[in-house]
Structures are given as C-alpha cells and as structure tokens.
Chains A and B, each alone.
Chain A
Amino acid sequence: MSTFEARTFGICAAIAVALALHAGSAAAGDGAHFGQPISAADAAAWDVSIGPDGRGLPPGSGTPAQGAVVYAEKCAACHGDKGEGKTNARLVGGQITGPGPVVKTVGSYWPYATTLFDFTRRAMPWTAPKSLTNDEVYAVTAHILRLNGIIGDNDVMDAKTLPQVRMPNRDGFIPLFPGKH
C-alpha cells in the first residue's frame, strides 16, 4: 500500500467509524433530524406558561391575608412593606395619566392578573426564584391585588378566580403587531 493509499484508507475508515457512531442516534433519512421526541408529561416541569385566559394555572389557592405573611418575609425587603417600592419596583398605586410623573405599577398599568402570578412564580423572590409553593404564589398575588384595591379582603385566588380579575388598565394597550410592522 502506498503512502497515498494508506492515507486514503485511513480517512475512509475514519468516515466509516463516524457513520457507524451516528447510526445509533435519532437521525434518519437524508437531512438533519437530531431532535429527541419527548412526551407532554415529561415536558411538564418546564411548561410554566400561563395564558391571559388562565390556561396553565396550577392547582392551589391563596388569600390576601395568607399572602401578607409571605410578602412580609419574602418580598418587603425589596418592594417595601406596603408595596410602595424600595430598591425594586413599586407594586401599588401610581398613575399613568395626568400632570404628575408616570408611575407604572401592577395596579395602574398591568393589564392581566395572570401575568402577576406567572412572573412571581418564575422569577421571584430574586434570590431564590421558583422557591414558593403554588399556594404561596396565589396568596402573594392576592395580597398585591388587595393592596391595589382590585380584590376584596376575603377573595380567594385560584385557577378559576384569578383570570376573572379585571385589571384597571385592561384596555390600555394598542398592539402594533400585526399591523404597523
């Protein structure tokens, strides 16, 4: 075998080994198909999306009073004792029109109560996101809505009641897509 042939044989052997290795993967046919099928049940732990209609809300419930306890312990340090804001966003009151400064809060600006549950569950508290139970997230959500005067003291927030909460700025948005862009 000449040097050239030996080198060619070596390359061919390497390709053959590579192809044999790949044959064991999910790839099939011409084209690149390397995705691994997964069941909806196996994807459930990551599927935390909640639609504005409440789709995706988990079981559980909470009241403003229960939420006040969680809030004092986990939220007040950054957002203030009554949601007035501290090192992080103000959550209560504010206004978006008028001569004074614009203050966007859950009460004055957020169009959907479901977003408050979703954001709290995925991202809060800042130092330990995803550490609250679903009951605690419902309760904190209820507490913040109560501080804004949007629900009553005895209203229970759960998968059925939360999407029914009508936020004051629900109709405050003009979607530019589709349309302008």
Chain B
Amino acid sequence: MPESKHRQGAVTVPHVAGNGLLDRRALLSQGAAIAGAMSVGAVGATTGAAAEPLVNDPWSLAPGITIPPYGQPSRFEDKTVRTLTNPKLEPRGSAARTPHHLLNGTITPNGLHFVIARGGFPDIDPDKHKLLIHGRVKQPMTFTVEALLRYPMTSRVTFLECGGNSAPLYAKDPIQANVQALHGLVSCAEWTGVRLSTLFEEVGIDPEAKWFLAEGADAPTMHRSIPVSKAMDDAMIALYQNGERINPSNGYPMRLLLPGYEGNMNVKWLRRIKIVDGPIMAQNETMAYTILLPSGKAWQFFYPQEVKSFISHPSPGMTMKGPGFYEISGLSWSGNGRISKVEVSADGGKSWALAALQTPVLSKALTRFRMAWNWDGSPVVLLSRATDEAGNVQPSRAAFAAERGQPRTSPPVTAFPMEHCNVISSWGVSAKGEVTNVYI
C-alpha cells in the first residue's frame, strides 16, 4: 500500500489514519526514523532555499541589556497577550482570554491566565485582608494572610475553566474566530496553598454539615454554595500561582481552588466561608451557571468541567505554509480526573489515530497532545476527541445538541449561549492552507 506510507530518504513512517496522520515515531527527536520524516515538508522546503553565509548580528558584537528585577517576555512577543472584553472598565463584567494559539506546553504564564471579573479586580493590601470561617462551626475564626502562610502547604497543577468556555462552539453557524476567542477561558497553573480541610478541622466544622458558601472581597462580593465533600477531598486556599504570590486579577492574596470544578466557584479574593444548612441560591447559581434545556427546566449545580480538547496548532486564523510535515498539537483536560487518550482525525472523523500525550499526565490538569502529520495540500477537516480515565468521551456536536437542544442563534463570540459546552471542535484546512472553524 504505497499510498499509506510516508517515505522520505531511506526511512518509511507508517500512516496511522486518513489524510496523512503519521505514526508517533515521526515525533521523536532521535533515531533514523526522525531523520527521514523531518526531511520533508516545512524543514525540507526551508533547507531548499539558497544558503547564505552566516554573519555576526549586532547583539553578538556588543554587551547586552541590564537584567531587570522582574523579567518580561521579548519585545518581539508583544502579540502574546490576553484579549479584553472591557478594556475601559465600563459598568459591566470583564473577561480576559488566554492566547492558546501562541502558547505551547501546558502551564499558563500568570499574566496570561484567563480572568472573569464582575467589577474589575480589587487592589487588596494583604496586611488588611482576613479570611473569616463561621456558621456551623465550634469556634468562628479569622485567618490573616500572615497566619495562613505558616501552615503546611500543598501544591498541585490544575486547570481552571469558566463554565462558559467554548460556548461559541454552540452557535447555530460556525463563528470565525481563533482559539483564544473560542476556548480562551481555560488556563492551567501550579497552585500552592493550605488544604481547606485543615482549616475546617481547626474551626471544628459540624460533621453533619453538607454545604458551605465562599465569598470574595471584590466590589460585587461574589459568592457561591459548595459541597463540604469537595472541601474534604481536594480543595485548598491558594496563596501562590506558578511559584509566586497569586496574580491580583486572579485572586491576590488568596483564592479558593476547587480542582476540576466550574471556574466561578473558585472564588477569588476570598474573604469569607460560612458553613450553611443548604445552598444559598446565589445569583451565580440560579440566574447564571445554570443550563436551560428545551423542556424549559434547567440543570443547576453542574460542577465538574467535563472532558474536552481542541487543536491549537493549527487552528482558525492560521495559514499553513504549504504541504509537508506538521505537528498537530492541542490541549485536553477533564474535571473528572486524568486524560486517558486523545484521538485525532484529519478526514472529518472517518478515521482516527491515537495522539501522543505529553507526560506527566496529571489529574484535572491541561494535557498536551501531539500528532505527526504529512499534509498533502488537499482540503481536510481536523478533529480531536478526548476520553478521560472515568470513561467519559467528548461528544459530537449532534450528540450534545440532542441533549441540550438545537442552537437557535449565532450570538457574538463573547456571548455565552451555553454553559459547560464540551463538543468536539472541527477545523477546516483549505487547499490554500487557511484554517477555519467548520461544522461537519
């Protein structure tokens, strides 16, 4: 079957699915296989240009710049920024989205972590901030930031995702926007802080209590009801984000971290926890973050962010640089645990191949997947489909709409026509190499 082989030089890499998906050996950086695979396409085309003699550039001929106390990215990377929905802070909420099409790996830099805030971010003096824990406890207590910093700490890498992330994928017609606009309300960081169960034990929480509420110190004093079972499982009061104190727009000096749960519940600028008898029925758990079904009834208390993936490279808005070798890569995650596999298709879902998962694969963390691809220059549709260790599989758009209802409108890309939308993303690649959001 000569058409199913990717042959270059002396080496052959098997095709593993339609339209040029290659065996993962083509991703390896060592051995004969890679030498063969990498010599086609983009690399081959580049080396085909006439070579020029190497010269020393100015930065190699004079001393450089003073190392700053806090480093910033290269000035040539000034496009790698969040997009803002409310840059002048008009009287409404603000969203800042992560530029996944310009990043790689799995950790989101603190300045690029997504944010949703109802009233800007508060400029909190940590010496004046306190956390109150009260309600159904033996002894109500306050905890200063200084006090919390003295507790034994725990760290974990986890994603945070807005319940409304990927909502544009639920529009009636495909919205042409990049992955920052479509999927930019998910990010991933290493968070360090104090286990919430430690503090619950110290205040003497009523063992029969099932619910607590968490409230922020920002202007709208946003609050949510949360099951005590989550506090006793893996919740923490996070104080550090990727090694440094939490970014102000992400909750400085402390935020609640509920790994895998809907972003809005991970209350930023946390100032109060109250152990209560039942859900408080906050605006953000009745009006917002509920899912209205075609029957007129609405799901409430939808907590874990369910299994999802999308291809970030290539993705809508990009243009491929001609036929040849490409690494398809993207992000996958599940609020229910580890990603167990990601499948990729280059023929609109007719055939699938297993992508390589970047290790370590962590529970409730962004997981990078990679797939080698030899694009022959013909139009294709690229898909990714993730499965988590609980066996949940990312649904097709048709299966999702069958349960949630058919989308009736195509609202602006910044709107939220659906919560907890985890449908498979499909990117079309034209013969010219233009990548767009398509429905299949």
* Chain A interfacial positions (CB closer than 8 Å to B): 25-26, 32-40, 43, 46-52, 78, 87-88, 96-97, 101-102, 104, 109-112, 114-115, 118-119, 122-123, 126-127, 129-130, 172-178, 180-181
Contacts and interface: CB of A to CB of B under 8 A. Distances in A.
A63 B77 CA distance: 57
28 contacts: A26-B147, A32-B150, A33-B202, A34-B148, A36-B143, A37-B141, A38-B141, A43-B134, A46-B215, A49-B213, A49-B280, A51-B276, A87-B90, A96-B296, A97-B296, A101-B408, A109-B286, A109-B287, A111-B281, A118-B282, A122-B221, A126-B92, A129-B119, A129-B221, A173-B299, A173-B300, A174-B298, A175-B301
The 3 lowest CB-CB distance pairs between A and B, nearest first, are A35-B141, A123-B220, A34-B147
B301 A51 contact: no
Given A51-B276, A111-B286, A173-B290, A123 B222 contact: yes
B303 A114 contact: no
A177 B150 contact: no
Given A97-B296, A174-B300, A177-B301, 9 more contacts: A36-B143, A49-B213, A49-B274, A49-B280, A88-B92, A130-B221, A175-B301, A176-B299, A180-B302
B360 interface: no
Contact of B303 (A104, A115, A177): A177
A48 B221 contact: yes
A38 B91 contact: no
Contacts of A49: 213, 215, 223, 274, 276, 280
B245 interface: no
A172 B222 CA distance: 23
Interface string B72-92: 000000000000000000111
Interface string B280-313: 1111001100101001111111111000000000
A114 B220 contact: no
B277 interface: yes
B92 A87 contact: yes
Contacts of A114: 281
A112 B286 contact: yes
B109 interface: no
Contacts of A102: 292
Contacts of B287: 104, 109-110, 115
A28 B178 CA distance: 55
A14 B282 CA distance: 49
B337 to A, nearest CB: 13
B147 A51 contact: no
Contacts of B358: none
Nearest to B198: A32
Interface string B218-249: 01111100010000000000000000000000
A176 B140 contact: no
Contacts of B202: 33, 35
Nearest to B300: A173
A13 B323 CA distance: 70
Contacts of B404: none
B104 interface: no
B139 interface: yes
B298 A172 contact: yes
B332 to A, nearest CB: 20
A172 B297 contact: yes
A176 B279 CA distance: 13
B227 A177 contact: yes
B296 A176 contact: no
Given A88-B92, A127-B91, A176-B299, A46 B132 contact: yes
Contacts of A51: 276-278, 280-281
Contacts of A46: 132, 215, 271-272
Contacts of B219: 123, 126, 129
Given A47-B134, A96-B296, A109-B287, A176 B147 contact: no
Interface in B94-142: 118-119, 132-134, 139-142
Given A35-B143, A43-B134, A173 B90 contact: no
